[in-house]
Structure 1
Amino acid sequence: MEFFRREELATNLAKKVLEVSPTSASSSGLFLAAPRRTGKSTFLREDLRPALEKEGALVLYVDLWEDRSADPGETIVHMVRAELAKHEGVITRLARSAGMEKVAVGGLSFSLDRIGLGDGISLSTALAELSDEVKRPIALVIDEAQQAIASEKGNDALFALKAARDELNSSRHFGLRVVATGSNRDKLAMLRAGRDQAFMGAPLINFPTLGMDYVQWFCHRLNLGAPLDPARVYELFKRASFRPELLGAAADAVRFEFGLPPDQVSTRFAEAIDEQIAESEREQLRVVHNLTPPQSTVLRVMAVRGEKFAPFEAATIESYNAVLQATSPNVDAKIDVSGAQQALAALQEKALVWRAARGVYALEETGLATLMASAGMLDDVPR
């Protein structure tokens, strides 16, 4: 499959990530934020990974959303185990350091399950041995990294990576860089904003959206019976929040509209973009409209409060009940702390709300609050 390449951006970013300088904080980790479905993960796999490898790094990549049912901490450790399994010398040394005198690499005498976050071989030790084996810097690329703080094991994994980073960035080894990306800037910031976070102070930047060069590439490869004006398509792309899949879906809608006159292709493509946007918004709101009154109430208050949302404070409970009375006057019920907990748990199951292990809640999709506001669903929430 052909991909749009962002090689210049990838090369520039790879050089900055691997730079060794007393004036750079990139050795602490780099955090990239971008909305979902804007090409971030494709860039990581198809552009940044090869660029880092070209600069001499050993790249380990993991997507914490690939298996939402797996604990993110275990997913991170599994990534490291998978790479270690490729290096018999590392396995042998680790096994012996753990007190295993008889080592049968690939056999039953040594289990990679012992390389983890608890007793046995630490993640830091394992990565240090790997660094010494390959004699080059290691770059860990963690996509949707905010999921790591959604579990205790995930938090533990981050601190294990911090310990590994501190060790590998010493003069004894070849360096470790952590590139963490996420689809929600506020959630991603939690990994590096506080003293109790493993990557406190690491730079957090907005990942550049796809631009006119992508739109020109896209238009050049279309075969809709008539060319599209890239300048006009770019305006549509902005309206679609820079999501490539909406352009592709609109193109498919036009492509399979048999008998469409060439002089109507451009107009029909613009209509198809609007249809795709409307369908996406309808789908999000459909889930919201199917919530129970307490669930809908808690979601509305959270959408308005944003970062200041404190779900169990007395003032918030009061807001819940004011909204519940305004939006569902026929419901004979009140929301207390227990009811709020139940509603939040249900919202998590429906993938509308995200929860960090330390009890901080946030909307799963940052754009949902704007969408709910435009639909008038937040009008009754006290400010």
Structure 2
Amino acid sequence: MEFFRREELATNLAKKVLEVSPTSASSSGLFLAAPRRTGKSTFLREDLRPALEKEGALVLYVDLWEDRSADPGETIVHMVRAELAKHEGVITRLARSAGMEKVAVGGLSFSQDRIGLGDGISLSTALAELSDEVKRPIALVIDEAQQAIVSEKGNDALFALKAARDELNSSRHFGLRVVATGSNRDKLAMLRAGRDQAFMGAPLINFPTLGMDYVQWFCHRLNLGAPLDPARVYELFKRASFRPELLGAAADAVRFEFGLPPDQVSTRFAEAIDEQIAESEREQLRVVHNLTPPQSTVLRVMAVRGEKFAPFEAATIESYNAVLQATSPNVDAKIDVSGAQQALAALQEKALIWRAARGVYALEETGLATLMASAGMLDDVPR
């Protein structure tokens, strides 16, 4: 499959990540935020990973959204174990450090289950051995890293990686860099904003969206019976919030519209973009409209409060009941702390909201609040 390459950006970013300088904070970790479905994960796999390898790093990549049912802490541990399994010398030394003099590599003498979080051999020790084996820096790329803090094991894994980073960035080893990405800047900031967070103070930057060069590449490869003007398509791309999949879906809609005259291709493509945007918004709102009154009420208040959302404070409970009375006057019910907890659990199960292990809540999709506001669903929420 052919991908749009962002080699210059990847090379520039790789050099900055691996830079060894007393004036650089990249050794603390680098956090990149970009909205979902804007090409971030493709860039990590197809551009940044090869660029880091070209600069001499051993790259370990993990996507915490690949298996949403798995605990993110275990996912990180399994990724490290998978890389260690490729290096017999590392396994041998780890086995001996566990008190085993005779080691049958590849057999049952040493189980990698001993490596991990509180399992005998720490991630820090394992990564230090790996660093000494490969004699080059290790770059750990974690996609959708905000998922790490939805579980205690995920939090533990982040602190284990911090310990590994501190050890591997000492003069005795070859360095460890952590590149964490996420689709929600506010969630990602939780991993490095507080003193109780493993990567406090690490830089957090907005990942650049795809630009005109991507649109030109896209238009050049289309075969719709007539060329598209990249300048016009770029304006449509901005309207689609820089999501490549919407351009592709619109192109497919035009491609399979048999008998379309060439002079109507450009107009029809613009219409198809609007249709894709409307369909995406309609699907999101359909889920919201199917919520129970208490669930809908809690979601509305959360959408308005944003970072200041405190789900169980007295003032918030009052807001819930004011909204419930305004939007569902025929519902003979009130929301208390228990009812709010039940609503939040249901919203989380429906993947509308996200909850950190320490009890902080946020909308799963950052654009949902804007969409609800445009539909008039937030008008009754007290400001």
TM-score range, shorter-chain basis? over 0.9
In structure 2, distance between residues paired with 1:187 and 1:375: 25
Deviation digits for residues 229-281 of structure 1 (CA, Å, limit 9, x no counterpart): 00000000000000000000000000000000000000000000000000000
Preserved CA contact (<8 Å) 2:113 2:119: no
Moved more, 113-122 or 83-92: 113-122
In structure 1, distance between residues paired with 2:230 and 2:41: 24
In structure 2, distance between residues paired with 1:201 and 1:87: 33
Deviation at 1:100, TM superposition (A): 1.6
Deviation at 1:119, TM superposition (A): 3.4
Partner of 1:107: 107
Deviation at 1:102, TM superposition (A): 2.2
Segments of 5+ residues of structure 2 without an aligned counterpart are none
Deviation digits for residues 64-116 of structure 1 (CA, Å, limit 9, x no counterpart): 00000000000000000000000000000001101122211110010001101
Moved over 3 A (4+): none
In structure 2, distance between residues paired with 1:150 and 1:28: 22
In structure 2, distance between residues paired with 1:172 and 1:71: 32
Segments of 5+ residues of structure 1 without an aligned counterpart are none
Aligned-CA RMSD value: 0.3
Residue 174 of structure 1 aligns to a residue whose secondary structure is: coil
Superposition TM-score, scaled by structure 1 size: 1.00
**How high is the sequence identity, in percent, across the aligned residues?**
99
Partner of 2:213: 213
In structure 2, distance between residues paired with 1:358 and 1:66: 23
Deviation digits for residues 320-354 of structure 1 (CA, Å, limit 9, x no counterpart): 00000000000000000000000000000000000
Asked whether 1:22 is paired with 2:22, we answer: yes
In structure 2, distance between residues paired with 1:309 and 1:98: 47
In structure 1, distance between residues paired with 2:185 and 2:153: 22
Superposition TM-score, scaled by structure 2 size: 1.00
Partner of 1:83: 83
Partner of 1:268: 268
Partner of 1:50: 50
In structure 1, distance between residues paired with 2:327 and 2:94: 61
In structure 2, distance between residues paired with 1:236 and 1:260: 20
Partner of 1:321: 321
Deviation digits for residues 147-196 of structure 1 (CA, Å, limit 9, x no counterpart): 00000000000000000000000000000000000000000000000000
In structure 1, distance between residues paired with 2:138 and 2:215: 34
Partner of 2:150: 150
Preserved CA contact (<8 Å) 2:300 2:378: yes
In structure 1, distance between residues paired with 2:100 and 2:198: 32
Residue 234 of structure 1 aligns to a residue whose secondary structure is: helix
In structure 1, distance between residues paired with 2:263 and 2:283: 32
In structure 2, distance between residues paired with 1:116 and 1:140: 16
Deviation at 1:316, TM superposition (A): 0.2
In structure 1, distance between residues paired with 2:83 and 2:183: 26
